[in-house]
Each structure stands twice: as C-alpha cells, then as structure tokens.
Amino acid sequence: MFFKRSTSFVKGIRFRLTLVYSSLFGLFICVFAYVLLKQNLQFARQTFDSALFNFAIDISAQLEKTPLPLVEEFRMPERELEKEFPFTLQETYYLVKSLEGEVLLRGGNEAYRVSDIPYSQEISSEKDYTHRFLDLNENNQDYRAVNLKVTTREGKIIILQVSTPTSLLHEELQQDMALILILIPTLILFSSILSYILAGNALTPIRELIKSTQTIAATNLSRRVPEPQTGDEISELTTTFNTLLGRLEKSWKAQENFVANASHQLNTPLAIIKGELDVLESKERSLEDHERFRKSLREELLRLTALVQQMLLISRVEAGLESFSFRPVRIDEVLLAVTSRLSSRAKEKKITIRFNMEDLENDLLEIKGERQLLECLFENMVENAIKYSPTESMVSLQIEENKNSLVVTIQDEGEGMSSEQFQMIIHSRFQRATHLLPGTGIGLSIANKIAEHHGAVITYLQIERGSQFQVKFPKKIV
C-alpha cells in the first residue's frame, strides 16, 4: 500500500524508494552496531577480568612466600608497578581473610574499599575451585571482585579478595555508545543521499518514457517510445507500451475509417429517402404512387441496412482479430453454405451456380480461419459475380490445390473490369464497378481485408467472357 498512495510530503516514487532503502539500511546498521557493541563489551569484560585475575595471582604468589602470622610484613611486588592494566593499581583494594572471616591483611586504595565481599567457607573442600568473580555495588559504585583460594607456606588455606571499580568499563561503553549515536545517523544520511541519487538514475528511463508519451496524441499515434537496450523491466515496459500504442493506432484508424465511411456512404441513401418523402408529401398521391414510393423506400432501407452491417464488420476486422476465434475450417463447407444462401438471388436472374472441386482429401480442404469471416469473404465475391453477370448466365466455383497454395476460383460471365479498376476498388472502398446496379460498394474491400488477415491473396484476371477471381490460401495456414 505504501507504493500505491501518495501524500503531500511524498510526491514521487523516487522519494519513497529512498525512504525504503534508507530504512532498511538503518535497520541493518542498527542490528550490526548492537551485535558489535555487545561483542566488544564482552571482550572488554573478559580482558578486564583477565587483568584482575592476573593481578590477584601475582599477589597470591607473594602471599605464598610470606610466613604466618607475619602477614602484615607483606609487600606488593615491585614488578606490579610496571604492568599496564585496564585499571590503575591505585584504584584497587584487596583483603586477605581466613576461612573463618578474620581479616588478616588489608591493602590498596581505601577510597575504593568494599566492606563485605562474600565468599564460601566450603572453599577448602572444593578441590577444583580456584577463583570466582563477583559483581558488587556499594555507595552507588559498581565493583568487580574476585575471590582466590591461596595456600600458604604452612599449608593453611586463606582467601584473597581483590576488587576494583568498573568505571573504566562504563566509560568505554559510553564512548562506544556516543560513537554509534554519531556514526549511525551520519551513515543513514549519506546512504539516503546516495540512494536518492541512484534512484534518480535508475528512474531516468521512466522519466524519458513519460516525456515521450506526453508528446503522443490521437493525431500522432504512429510515434513510438525509444526502447532502451537494457533488457530489464523498464525495457519490457517500453516494449509493452509500444505494443499498446500499435493497438490503439489500429483501433483509432478503424474508428476514423468508420466515421469517414459512414459520413460518406450513409449520406446517399438517407438523401434519397428524404427526397422520396419530400416528393411523396408534395401533393396528393394515388394508391399506385404510394405503392411505388413504398417499394422504393424499402429498397433504400434494405441497402442502408446492408451498408451498416458491412461497415460494422469491416471496422471490427480492422480493429483487430482478438474477437474472432481461428480454428480449422472446411473451405468446401463454407462455399456450400454461401451458395445455398445466394441461390434465391441467382434464380431471380436465372443464373446457374456450378461448383467444381478436385478430388481432394479432407485434410487438404481444411484451413485455419474464422468461419464467419470466410463466409463473408466468399459471400461478397459470389454475390458480386451474380450481380454483375447477365441473365441466364453461369457462375462457377472451383477448389484446387497447387504446389504452394489452396486456390478458390470464382468466375462469372459479366462485363469485367480492367486491372487498374480492380486495384482501385479493392484498396479504395465504396467505389463500385458500375453505378447502374444496387450495392454498398465495399464488398471487394471487405473480402480483401479478410483475406489479408488469413494470409491469403485475391487476384483478378479479365478473361474473354467475364471475370475470374482467385483467392489463394498459402500452405502454411492450410
């Protein structure tokens, strides 16, 4: 949710990425500093205890040489004054006690005197016992003490107790804490600045993408955003965006074509209908006139309906094939369905439809396509053949296979057209071969567009008597 919402303080993903990275780095450095501080304190304590124990050992070695009861003749070894400890000798205080608790010797700095250092009287029976450390507090001062079992020259067991304040450890801890409190915010600050710079560099392609897309409008959808050759998610995003622009451009052109075609083609039948109604209402008409006008209006409405249906279909095809499902289709079944629907129109002009098909196996008659589109393709072409053929003539359909394609041939006995006229009609919509016959004028254009989506090619050949159209489906989609 953090990346989906933006407040007045967080206006961009760059700042939020910096905040996340800095927070993660801060958490990591805090955990690392805690572990390091704990390990350092433990090491300092071990060093402190080792020095305290070594100091106690040196004193015990001198005690072992001192005869009883002349313990008061004990003198600190001179070599101890030359040693370096984590504490100074002037801060130590030591006691020598008997097992019964009688103080046999005192020494050291009285300012750091500890009144009672507990010990166990069962020390003599503990064969493995050598020393034991204790933490004490007296007069709000923390001390570290050690009890050491010492055997005198006479074989008597006495207890040596040495204590020293732990102020040095506390000072070291405070110094480490102060260093951490200064170092961690400084590191986080520098990491935040560096993260902000790196995040800005990483987001540079996105800013370029935004800058490029801001210049793209409906009038220049053919423009594309430069794709960075980085091979990362930003490159993938740019490629996806360009693909989206391609689909938008295709849909926009289809919409523009639909609007242009509608404004051009719908105007004629609507003007005719309006004119017919104006003439009808200009004066009183007989029943015969009403019947004639009704028949004329019905023909124009049928033509208008067919025109709208054709325009909607071609717009759907131009917008893309996502709404169509391509699957294996028998081309002979498509042609039989088309000729069955158009048989009544052929009978009106006494035209015979002849269907010739080579002896092809069923697998060779299958192509991968959309049945509705294929039926529309051949229905337009067969309907044109019937429309422009003279009465009592023949329209022939033939399916054959050659080396590279499956070919459907449609031949009529009409007047035909030139190759230039064919190219003009098939690529420039709404131009009919003759204006003497009814029609929408977009049949061949729709057929050509459908053929292109199926990888097929429509060719035209003017023969001695009529026209011959061929639709060639390549073997790769057969």
Sheet holding 141-151, edge to edge: 103-108, 93-98, 157-165, 141-151, 131-138
Structure tokens at 142: 């923390």
Task: Give the separation between CA 321 and CA 323, rounded to whole angstroms.
Answer: 5
The set of residues, in sequence order, having a beta carbon less than 8 Å from that of 160 and lying 6+ positions away, is 56, 59, 60, 63, 94, 95, 96, 147, 148, 149, 150
- What is the structure's pLDDT at 424? 80
pLDDT less than 50: residues of the chain: 1-3, 6, 8-9, 429-440, 478
Q: What is the pLDDT of residues 388-435, one digit of tens each?
A: 889 989 999 998 888 778 899 999 988 888 888 888 877 654 444 443
Is-cis flag, bond preceding 69, omega within 30? yes
Residue appearing with tokens 């016959």:
437
Domains along the chain? Answer: 1-202 (3.30.450.20), 208-265 (no CATH), 324-477 (3.30.565.10)
Task: Give the separation between CA 347 and CA 283, rounded to whole angstroms.
Answer: 39
Based on its alpha-carbon atoms, the radius of gyration of the chain, rounded to whole angstroms, reads: 52
Task: Give the separation between CA 141 and CA 358, rounded to whole angstroms.
Answer: 113
Q: What angle do CA 235, 241, 243 make, to 5 degrees?
A: 105
Query: Strand 93-98 to strand 103-108: parallel, antiparallel, or no bridges (unpaired)?
Result: antiparallel
- What is the structure's pLDDT at 183? 87
Is the separation of the CB atoms in 124 and 157 below 8 Å?
Answer: yes
- What is the structure's pLDDT at 2? 47
Query: Please, is 97 exposed, middle or buried when counting C-beta atoms within 10 Å of its C-beta (0-12, 13-18, 19+)?
Result: middle
